[in-house]
Structure 1
Amino acid sequence: MDDPRAQLDRERQKTIDRLASLTEDFDKVVAASRDSNADDEHDPEGSTIAFERSQLGALAEQARKALAEIDAALARVAAGTYTTCERCGRPISAERLQARPMVRTCIDCASGG
C-alpha cells in the first residue's frame, strides 16, 4: 500500500485546488449577476444565475466536507488508528483504504454487518 499520509496529502491538495476553483467560479457568477440587470429567472437561454450559484455552492460545500474527512484521516494516521475500524475495532483492509483513503470503518461494518 502507498504511504497513507502521502496519499492523503495528495488528495488534500487536489481538494484544496478544487475548492479554490469552485470559489473562483462562484465569485465570477456573483459578479456577473451584479453587473447585469437581466431577469435571469425568465431567461429562455437555459439555467438561471441563481441555479448556477446554488450548484457551485453545493459543490464547494461538498469539497469542504471532503477536506474535513481528509483532515480527520490524517489525524487518525498521526494517532496510529488509521487502519482500525471506528465501529468494531478490527483492521480495515489495505485494499479498502487504497480505494477509499478516508474511510473510517471496515467493509463488514460499512455494509451493515
Structure 2
Amino acid sequence: MDETRSLLDRERQEALYRLAALTGDFDRIVDASRDSNADDEHDPEGATIAYERSQVDALIHQARTQLVEIDAASARLSAGDYGTCERCGQAIPEARLRARPTARTCVTCP
C-alpha cells in the first residue's frame, strides 16, 4: 500500500508540474498573439497561433483529467477499495495496476 501511495504521489507531482508548464506555455501563446498583428490564420508557413493554443489547451485538459483520476485512485486506496473493479467487483490484476495505477476496472470489463 505504501508503494502504491508513493507511486500515486509521484504521478500527481508530475501531472502538477506538467500542468504548470503547459499553463505557462498557454499564457505565452495568448500574450504573443495579443502583441502581434500578423495574419497567422492565412500564413502558409505552418501552424497558426489558434492551432497552437488549441493543442496546448487540450494537453492542459488532459493533465487536469489525470489529476482527477489520481485523486480518485488515492481516495479508493484510503477507503480500501483500490484494486477492486468498479464493474464486476473482482480484483484488478497487479500487472494492470502497475501499468495504469489509476485503473478503475479489470481488463475484462469495459
Note the alpha carbon deviations across 1:28-63, whole angstroms, 9 max, x for none. 000000110111101122110000000000110011
State the TM-score, normalized to the length of structure 1.
0.93
State the TM-score, normalized to the length of structure 2.
0.95
Segments of structure 1 that go 5 or more residues without pairing to the other structure are none
Shift of 1:2: 7.3
4+ residue runs of structure 1 moved beyond 3 angstroms? none
C-alpha contact (below 8 Å) 1:2/1:98 kept by paired residues: no
Query: What SS is found at the alignment partner of 1:68?
Result: helix
> Aligned partners of 2:94, 2:100: CA distance in 1, in Å?
10
Match of 1:56 in 2: 56
> Aligned partners of 1:57, 1:50: CA distance in 2, in Å?
10
Query: What SS is found at the alignment partner of 2:95?
Result: helix
Segments of structure 2 that go 5 or more residues without pairing to the other structure are none
The code of the aligned residue for 1:17 comes to Y
Kindly report which structure 2 residues correspond to 1:1-113, keeping only aligned pairs within 5 A, or say none. Answer: 3-110=3-110
The code of the aligned residue for 1:62 comes to Q
Note the alpha carbon deviations across 1:76-102, whole angstroms, 9 max, x for none. 000000011111111111111001000
Q: How many corresponding residue pairs?
A: 110
Shift of 1:109: 1.2
